[in-house]
Structure 1
Amino acid sequence: MFGLTSLGIIHTVISLIAVGAGIVGFLRDRRVDLDTGAGKIYLWTTVATCITGFGVFQHGGFGKPHALGVLTLLLLGAAWTLRGRVVPQTVLLSTTFFFHLIPAMTETLTRLPLGAPLLKDAEAPELKAITGILFLLLVIGVTLQVRWLKQVGRTPGQRAAV
């Protein structure tokens, strides 16, 4: 299906669950909050996405997708250790969400529609532009999150009404 291996399908399903949980967190709590069910699902499915991704990305050795997976795991580990420090944890988790979007855009645009994908390959200049736009949205989003968190004076574990 879509040129994916069985592991690729599992990886994709897990990553879609992670992205869905992240979206729930952003909509409900304005951030991914590891003290909520959606936050816990996001954390563990993102870990699983990275681990399964190491088996999926087999293009002649260690490459950009592997580096992104390692970096994501490092940021998740840092976010986990920063429990109780809401602002830095929020920045780290929002950054990992951005990392989800990079391969999501790449894989979607280079595979779909079937037989005539929108972009030729992962090096297409359009992908660099899309990644730049997503990065700009990350910076804007994190800035708004940090301003909001400081404004409401959140304490760890405290849920805010949106």
Structure 2
Amino acid sequence: MTDPIHVVGVEDCSTVLVRSDPWVPLTVVWSGAESSAELVLYLRDPHEGYVKVNVDADSGALRRLVLIHMPAFVDHQQQSVALREDLVPALDRHMWPWKETPDYSEPVHSYIDVRMRLTYSITDGRFVLWLGESELVEWLQVGPVRLGLSGAGGLMSVDVPVGHLDESWLED
């Protein structure tokens, strides 16, 4: 199975901002060398769940994730895997179609839509947003935020301590 969000490398990152309020379940912003442009990836579950992901147009580094609409809950336990700190994934910029000329290349569109399974779970005091179904083999962590990667090189999860979510999103 191919993971829809392919990771091609990692970039240094030392700070992250996590927000949640009654209107937007989760916003995560990673710091880093800023470029003049970003690429946007909209992730839509066919049933429920909607996520916006911003990446650096030059490096593919993950810069922002906004959980706009909460996906379905699943009872899924995370396994313990290897951890590397102060790194964010660099996503494959070839997910976006590019216009190539002899002098330069640029994305045809700065945004793309991907339909995929989105779910969430709460495990060991952490809120986990699942971006697909592959097993994790590694975490990248900046501050309290962990990003789960699959063995095939896919971005599979984003998790934060439950205390970072507005309590209105944790009610039954």
TM bin, normalised by shorter chain, reads: under 0.3
Greater radius of gyration (CA) = 1
The structure with the greater share of residues assigned to strand is: 2
TM-score of the aligned structures, taking structure 1 as reference length: 0.21
The structure with the greater share of residues assigned to helix is: 1
